[in-house]
Amino acid sequence: MCISDKEEEVETTSTTSTLTSNTIKEEEEEDDELYLKDIQYQESKHLIIDSHCHIQEDQEMISMVENQSTYPMHCSWLMGTTVEDWDRVDRYADKMGDRALRCYGIHPWFAYQYHPPKELIDQKDNDGQYRIDDKWYIELEKRLIKYPNAMVGELGIDKVTKVKATGKNDLDGQWEVLKRQFKIAVDHNRLLSLHCVQLQGKLLDYFISLPLDQFPKKIALHTFSGKPAMVRSLLKLKDKGTRLYFGISFINLSSSKVLKLIEAIPDDRLLLESDQNTPEYAESSIYKVLVAISKAKNWSIKVSILNTQKNAIAFQNN
């Protein structure tokens, strides 16, 4: 059967597209492995503190850390996102010992599971019945009491995420869950790791509204996506700005303005994050963030590792 000119054009375009796609994939894979060739990184990676990750989600990789000496980083802060995830955090942390920091929180993506929208209360779907959960925060407090160094996180507010059953964003529920976690963090004198998407101004207003005795001792603003001007506004908050740190992860690298953002963050408030859910992806992402930090701050890779490690330790200390 003869192929028409139009069909031939489509076939050629498809072939070209496939070749281009394969080339891009190969380049991405090569880029992902750059950290393996960087001698300075390889010599210093054991000093890295990954201040925000979810590697506990990769339960198959627990065997990798049976022997702690095989784990590449100094310490990983394991961010729990649901009550069920807190169990995974504990299983991983039990293997890691001092190489892991336990963090328990309710992520805004899952806040509806604990404080559903009014229109869903008492309705049923495949996940069961929607109802306000008045037990999750009791469990959170139990774990914080059991582990005196544990953080509260990941918590936050997110303008983009939607509740699947309604197709709508439910900020009211997110705020209720966030405020409860803020109170618990203050009551137990704990650190926070805070997620905020497209609501930096609202978050600033919330910080301003809180009396100082109701403000957590320190907050890591995870994958901070505000503008440099917002960094300055947050730092100017009386008696509160000194408690704020700013995390940069691979997600920030998609912005063309990331270097300007990193430049605006004080050298002693910058935290290094992977925000990844496997050790392998965490390491490759951490390296890419280190490259960006080094460019923005005019530091070497080693200095970037040392400075962010120092900041993470300062964040943890009173």
Binding residues for a divalent metal cation: 52, 54, 154, 195, 222, 275
Nearest in space to 108 (alpha carbons), one of 41, 57, 54, 176: 176
| Ordered strands of the 49-53 beta sheet | 49-53, 75-79, 100-104, 151-158, 192-197, 219-222, 244-248, 270-272
Asked if 175 contacts 136 with a C-beta cutoff of 8 angstroms, the reply is no
Residue 271, helix vs strand vs coil: strand
Comparing CA positions, the residue from 23, 58, 25 lying closest to residue 283 is 58
Whether the CB-CB separation of 75 and 50 falls below 8 Å is answered with yes
Quick one: 98 exposed, middle or buried, by C-beta within 10 A (0-12, 13-18, 19+)?
A: exposed
Point out the annotated binding site: 52, 54, 154, 195, 222, 275
